[in-house]
Amino acid sequence: MNKCVFLDRDGVLNEDRIDYVYRVEDFNILPGVPEGLKKLKEAGYLLIVVTNQAGIAKGLYTREDVAKCHTYLQEACGNVIDAFYYCPHHPDYTSRSLRRKPDSLMLEKAIARYNIDVSQSWMFGDAPRDMHAGKRVGVRTVHITHHRPEMPVGDQQAGDLLEATRYVLEAA
């Protein structure tokens, strides 16, 4: 079985924006991300991005726009990401979907396809919905946040992906 780090995209791998990130020219990879992903890959983790992309349902951008951003991210990070899963749905615009976090169908599909051992796997995310999706499938969670809440949302907290990576590698 394989160990995996599931990764939310916006706010974890790239700078999040209020007005959605769907153009390569606005896709700013956060500091330390390529280095952190490389370290996780070298330690034997599969790297799988799981991201809600409600802007598709809202008609703000297309699946092709998302694919271009993912290609850019993959190339900028040395082609270490094993898979990208995204949910194009939003319950107020198209339909409800079990793929949309905090539900966990994106993670469940990846677990089945890549024979992932959840006891050795993690979810990195910047929102409670990411932590909930990870917990639903039984992986440990790291909440990436600059503002430490009084009540922790994830199993661990980190200021960025590189700090989360260090924690996971030390815990292994």
What is the pTM assigned to this prediction? 0.94
* Active-site option among 10, 65, 103, 126: 10
Query: Residue 93: its pLDDT value, please?
Result: 76
The Cα–Cα gap between 3 and 114 comes to 9
Tokens representing 48?
């799988």
- HSE of 96, CA atoms in CB hemisphere, 13 A: 3
Rg (CA), the chain: 15
Query: Residue 95: its pLDDT value, please?
Result: 74
φ/ψ (deg, to 5) at 169: -70, -35
* Active-site option among 8, 103, 126, 130: 8
Query: Residue 164: its pLDDT value, please?
Result: 97
How many structural domains compose the chain?
1
103 carries an active-site annotation: no
CATH code for the domain of 148: 3.40.50.1000
Q: What is the mean pLDDT of each run of 10 residues along the chain (172 residues)?
A: 97 93 96 98 98 92 97 98 94 80 96 98 96 97 84 88 96 82
The Cα–Cα gap between 21 and 48 comes to 19
130 carries an active-site annotation: no
Q: Which residues span the domain enclosing 155?
A: 3-171
